[in-house]
Amino acid sequence: MIEPVATHLDEEQGRFDAELGALLAEFRVEASQPSASTVDLEAVVSSALDPLEIAASLEAVGAGGWAVAGRFDRADVFGLASLLHERVTFVPGRARSDDHLARPGSTVDLLRGAIFAVPGIVFTAALRAGGLHLAWWCLPLALTIGWSAGQVVASLSSALRGRADASGERSALATALVVTGLVAATVTSLVAVATGASSSTVAVATGFSLFMAASAVLVAFGRERLLALALVPGTLGLVGAIAAGPGGVPTWAALAAQGLTVVVTVAFAVHECGGRRTPPTLCRADRPPLVRAAVHGACCGLTVSVVVALAVRGGPTVRTSVAAWPLLLSLGVMEWQVRSFKWSVQRAGRAAGEVEQFRRAAWRAFLRSLGLFVVVLGALSVAAASAIAAGHRAVPVDPLVVQAILGVAFFADLAVVACSGLRDAVACWVAVVAAGATAAGVALLAGVDMSPSLAGHGALVASVALLLALGATAHRVVRTAAFS
């Protein structure tokens, strides 16, 4: 009695293997077509640790109800997945290489930091050139609009590149450039009319905003070398203005150098957006991430600009602008260390055997990268204070302390965003900015004298609050490390 039963089971297994082989061969052929899924169904079925892995792959390649009911007599895909998991011999999958991991940080990231460092430094050069009277709100507004535009450009590029929509990406980024220019010109013109500011303020603010958006476009297309080439005129103008001292360089020459950098950067960005362009494949679900990216960039730009023009009546000065240099110059190092952190945590996720082990490794990687960044930021801050003191000027202690605290907060912010926590980061920024704006509004309505000292203390409190909020968020999000 045993032999016939065994023979029957062998025949059933043979029929099953034949049908399974036909199914796998059929979808292996489809997967070789450019428009089809690239899921290796055979490898997934043989190495799956759970039937859900097989079910997801069946759905991905389109093995729907006809395959389930017609070939294997199962009611749904999950039933077929359970059958395959039971019948197919387990074969351990090949170990994945580290090629899919995010690249570790490198000196290339220092150039990326120049995107946001150069506008603030160039602004100082314009001040040193003399003869140019800019409103106090010029740089804050320019950085807010430009940084927001840069974040939107990065978000658009990431979304469309993930959908292999190259022509749509070019179209979307070209539109972002045009919209940035229009928004910057319109907003700064309205503020200039309301405050009686000069037309040069409008031109400088619009130019800085366009520069930052165009720089983000070049970085999105991987054209950092073109960005470095575009920065040459502005850098030469900066060096000349600093070397000659106040009034040593004609105003038109200093402005021409910075203007040429803006024009060349925008021209390079427009060229990269050239070619065949079609409407981008965006949908309603893309709106919230784009809005969050815009708000995130606006908060970052506004906060940095507060350090540059920290409650100095009559507009920012060279002294307060130099106080922001450590934070601006360290942005590249920040990018470098955040990338290294992400790479380290992804590797730890592959090696850790337990959840708690991974959490400890992730937090150690965060603290290690943060520590290296803090060392660089601290050294730059000491150098800036020494340079200001050497010129027999009073060292702006409050701006230097605030920019150092904000640097640490920015690092925590980038780490949270790298771990798919943009929503959490934006919530922290909005809460602190709203609280600060509310406190300032109440003080103004109450008739409090907003002296530079009081404003500096307020900025210090706000920066500490931001650091605490982002630090607590980083401790929670980093230990989950769901990377985008």
For 338, the enclosing helix (H) or strand (E) is helix 331-351
Calculate Rg over the CA atoms of the chain: 28
pTM: 0.70
pLDDT at 189: 92
Spell out the residues 6+ positions from residue 146 whose beta carbon is closer than 8 angstroms to its own. Answer: 119, 180, 184, 208, 209, 210, 211, 212, 213, 301
* Full 3-state SS string of 260-319: HHHHHHHHHHHHHCCCCCCCCCCCHHHHHHHHHHHHHHHHHHHHHHHHHCCCCCCCCCHH
Give per-residue pLDDT as tens, 387-437: 888 877 777 777 788 888 988 998 999 888 888 788 889 999 888 888 887
Altogether, the residues listed in the chain come to a count of 484
Contact 222, 109 (CB under 8 A): no
Summarize pLDDT for 26-84 with one digit per residue, the tens.
Answer: 554 343 333 334 455 666 677 776 777 777 666 665 555 545 555 555 666 677 777 77
Is 223 in contact with 272 (CB distance < 8 Å)?
A: yes
What is the rounded CA–CA span in Å between residue 467 and residue 428? 9
The DSSP string of 155-190 is HHHHHHHHTT-HHHHHHHHHHHHHHHHHHHHHHHHH
For residues 243 and 237, give the distance between their C-alpha atoms in angstroms, rounded to a whole number: 10
pLDDT at 283: 78
For residues 470 and 117, give the distance between their C-alpha atoms in angstroms, rounded to a whole number.
Answer: 22
Amino acid at 365: A
Contacts of 311 (CB under 8 A, 6+ apart): 450, 451, 452, 453, 454, 455, 456, 459
Q: What is the pLDDT along the chain (484 residues), one digit of tens a residue?
A: 334 434 544 565 566 566 666 655 555 434 333 333 445 566 667 777 677 777 766 666 555 554 555 555 566 667 777 777 777 776 665 555 444 555 666 666 776 676 666 666 666 665 555 556 777 778 788 888 988 999 999 889 988 887 788 888 999 999 999 999 999 999 999 999 988 888 888 888 898 899 889 988 998 888 878 888 888 887 777 777 666 665 566 767 767 877 888 899 999 999 999 888 888 888 777 888 889 899 998 888 877 666 555 534 344 445 456 677 788 788 888 888 888 888 888 777 666 556 777 788 888 889 999 999 999 999 999 988 888 888 777 777 777 888 889 889 989 998 888 887 888 899 998 888 888 878 878 877 887 776 666 766 777 888 888 899 999 999 888 877 655 4
**Secondary-structure breakdown of the chain: helix, strand, coil percentages, each rounded to the nearest 5:** 80, 0, 20
- Domain limits of the chain? 2-94, 108-309, 311-484
pLDDT given at position 377: 92
What is the rounded CA–CA span in Å between residue 78 and residue 88? 15
Query: What pLDDT score was predicted for residue 368?
Result: 92
Kindly report, residue by residue over 76-117, the tens digit of the pLDDT. Answer: 667 777 777 777 776 665 555 444 555 666 666 776 676 666
